[in-house]
Amino acid sequence: MGSVSDSSPRPRISLEPEEGWHCQHWFYRFNRVRLRTLAPAEHSDGCRDFCQTLDPESRDLPARIQTFLVMGHKADFGIMMLDPDPLKLDRVHQRLLAGLLGPAIEPMWSFVSMTDVSEYLPTVEDYTERLRQEGLLPGSEEFAHRVQQYGKRYEIMRRQRLQPDLPNWPAYCFYPMNKRRLPEANWFLLGFEERDRLMREHGETGLKFAGQVTQLVTVGIGLDDWEWGVTLWARNPQYLKDIVYQMRFDEASARYAEFGPFYTGYLATPKEILRQCRVCG
């Protein structure tokens, strides 16, 4: 007697994080040899299909998506996407490869991560304690005002880290990084107070570029080969060079950081990508 399979539906397990969103960075290159084999109609329809797949107005796209040109040999263009559902992110990638231009699109690199609130972001309680340590009287009007104002900023900062709005500043840079585990420089053997001190110093350097550069750090620990992914947007590419150079001198970077490949480019619509890469006019 043959076995009877259980046809009852499996319980739906949520892939949505309890806090934050999934994030994917993808980098692609056009295969020019393959492009030359496409018939004119196939080529034209493929360009239209490419733009529709990445149309920011499409209802099928993730909560956040940006497309950009990549400078250098590593890739021609890239996509950054965020959404509570990781399969929704993957569907964009799969639709791109399954589209009419798909045979001529080669994935070059990717990074899978999630948004997160850093443990080094002071809570309202932490900020209150710092004010006390600075000698500000808890019962004073200034003390109450500063705590209230920080409470408002804290909620904004939490939201921007977990469900970020992506800026439309033109210059773009992404790189993955780890913290070292060398015997003489092991980040994960440092106590929290020392790590917090180093990250505050690091953050103070970044604040010097307020209004010029903004960043989003996503966490790849347990999800990808690198522990963190850093995405930078700048009003001018010079600011990318300047901030990365300055922050390399902070001890958190100079002693404890390891960096992966840098992907640098400029925000561009799907149509601009095709035109710049000489795929479609």
**pLDDT digits 0-9 by tens, 186-220:** 999 999 999 999 999 999 999 999 999 999 999 99
Query: Is pLDDT of 3 > 60?
Result: no
Domains and CATH numbers, the chain: 22-115 (3.30.70.1030), 120-162 (no CATH)
Q: What percent of the chain has pLDDT over 90?
A: 78
Query: Is pLDDT of 144 > 60?
Result: yes
**pLDDT tens for residues 259-279?**
999 999 999 999 999 999 999
For residue 59, CA distances in Å to 54, 64, 95, 162, 222 come to 11, 11, 14, 21, 30
Q: Are 251 and 198 in contact (CB under 8 A)?
A: yes
Q: Residue 132 is encoded by which pair of tokens?
A: 């006390």
The residue-averaged pLDDT of 6-17 equals: 74
Instruction: Choose among 118, 113, 38, 107: nearest CA to 76.
Output: 107
Q: Are 253 and 175 in contact (CB under 8 A)?
A: no
**In this structure, what is the dihedral angle of CA atoms 137, 138, 140, 141, given to the nearest 10 degrees?**
130
Q: Which residues are catalytic?
A: 175
Q: Residue 139 is encoded by which pair of tokens?
A: 């019962």
**What predicted TM-score, i.e. pTM, was given to this entire model?**
0.90
pLDDT of residue 253: 96
3-state secondary structure of 262: coil
Long-range contacts of 123-131 (CB under 8 A, 24+ apart): 123/154, 124/150, 124/151, 124/154, 127/154
Question: Scanning the structure block, which residue is given the tokens 């020392």?
Answer: 194
Residue 68 CB contacts under 8 Å (≥ 6 apart), including other chains: 77, 78, 79, 80, 172, 265, 266, 267, 268
- As a whole number of Å, the CA-based R_g of the chain is 23
Q: What percent of the chain has pLDDT over 70?
A: 96
pLDDT of residue 7: 60
**pLDDT tens for residues 48-98?**
999 999 998 888 899 999 999 999 999 999 999 999 999 999 999 999 999
Query: Is pLDDT of 5 > 60?
Result: no
Q: Are 116 and 222 in contact (CB under 8 A)?
A: no
